[in-house]
Amino acid sequence: MLSYVSKRLLSSLVLLALVTTLTFAMVFGGADNVAQNILGDNATDQQIADLETKLGIDRPLYEQYGTWVAKAVRGDLGMSWTMGESVSKILSGRLPVTLSMVVLAIVIIGVVSALLGIAAAVRGGWADRVIQLISVVGFSLPNFWLGLILVVVFALNLRWLPATGYTDFTTSPTGWLASLALPVGALVLSGIASASQQVRGAMIDALRQDYVRTLRAGGIKPSSVLFRHALRNAMPAALTVLSLQFIGLLGGAAIIERVFAIPGLGSITVQAALSGDIPILMGVVVTMIILVVIVNIAIDLTNAWVNPKVRL
């Protein structure tokens, strides 16, 4: 297992290096008039040149990259160009916000999809129809539009929940939940749409296996056949879906945070993209990849525990 984890980490490092290099080349290579953007149209050529020197973007690309990498491996992602703070500080303040939203969403997606998917696989009937409906609706409604509608209905008309903003969990747990209710609601629908279908499919596959009949023939209780044997065999497929969902949610959070004015990683990414704050963008890309790598390794390890044939 140790060798698996180290192999996986190595492969992730290669991925991280490739993606950051590519991103660096793309964003820095394409950043022609960063200083102009930052200073505004009234800036003089001298001011622009001064700022370019200060930011270091007048140097050759490979030189900038070398500097960036040398600092990044020490955990220093540089200074933001527009916010006057270090990237690490900005991101570490915002990461918990996005994470709490995404984790809450993934838990809801997991639980609801598991319940719906299992019910549909075992009983068919109403659960099957609910899943079919959700799969079409969930796919078709863009999560940000759903978010807007939720705001209009629950915040503007009914005034049940706050329209925007974020309350920290440590400040007020109920306030935290209230501030996340609408954004998470908007995020989970499409996730449930695809995950519940996958759970249903995986469960139907598992229940079709020969050993299920043989277990029943051996007098094993139906609940044990279902939850101990079939569910365990369906788990790897379901968990893999959740890991893809997690990646999707990280992207989805960018838009949803914008709609609900939540100060998370997503909204700062949008802000940085519009203002050309490249150090922030690089920082976000690095953070996201590390998050995804951690989640994927965790899910692989769980799968290995569930499925003894996978040797790590």
Q: Would you count residue 227 as binding another protein (CB under 8 A)?
A: no
Strands (E) across 215-294 are located at none
User: Do residues 32 and 61 make contact, with C-beta atoms less than 8 angstroms apart?
Assistant: no
Distance in Å, CB of 166 to another protein, minimum: 18
Question: By CB under 8 A, what part of segment 9-38 binds another protein?
Answer: 11, 15, 18-19, 23, 26-27, 29-31, 34
C-alpha to C-alpha distance for 70 and 63, rounded to whole angstroms? 11
Distance in Å, CB of 172 to another protein, minimum: 26
C-alpha to C-alpha distance for 101 and 187, rounded to whole angstroms? 9
- The contacts found for 40-47 with CB under 8 angstroms, 24 or more apart, are none
* Residue burial 69-108, b: 16+ Cβ < 10 Å; e: rest: eeebeeeebbbbbbbeebbbebbeebeebbebbbebbbeb
Question: Which residue in the set 197, 203, 279, 300 belongs to the binding site for another protein (CB under 8 A)?
Answer: 197
Q: Would you count residue 158 as binding another protein (CB under 8 A)?
A: no
Distance in Å, CB of 136 to another protein, minimum: 5
Contact range with another protein by CB under 8 A, out of 55-63, 109-117, 169-177, 197-205 = 197-205
Q: Which tokens is 203 given? A: 């469960």
Distance in Å, CB of 149 to another protein, minimum: 7
Question: By CB under 8 A, what part of segment 55-114 binds another protein?
Answer: none
Q: Would you count residue 281 as binding another protein (CB under 8 A)?
A: yes
Q: Which tokens is 80 given? A: 């933001």
Question: Which residue in the set 62, 145, 160, 227 belongs to the binding site for another protein (CB under 8 A)?
Answer: 145
Chain Cα centroid distance, residue 63? 32
> If binding means CB under 8 A, how many residues of this protein chain bind another protein?
82
Contact range with another protein by CB under 8 A, out of 58-66, 87-95, 174-182, 245-253 = 245-253
Q: Would you count residue 7 as binding another protein (CB under 8 A)?
A: no
C-alpha to C-alpha distance for 235 and 260, rounded to whole angstroms? 34
Distance in Å, CB of 233 to another protein, minimum: 6
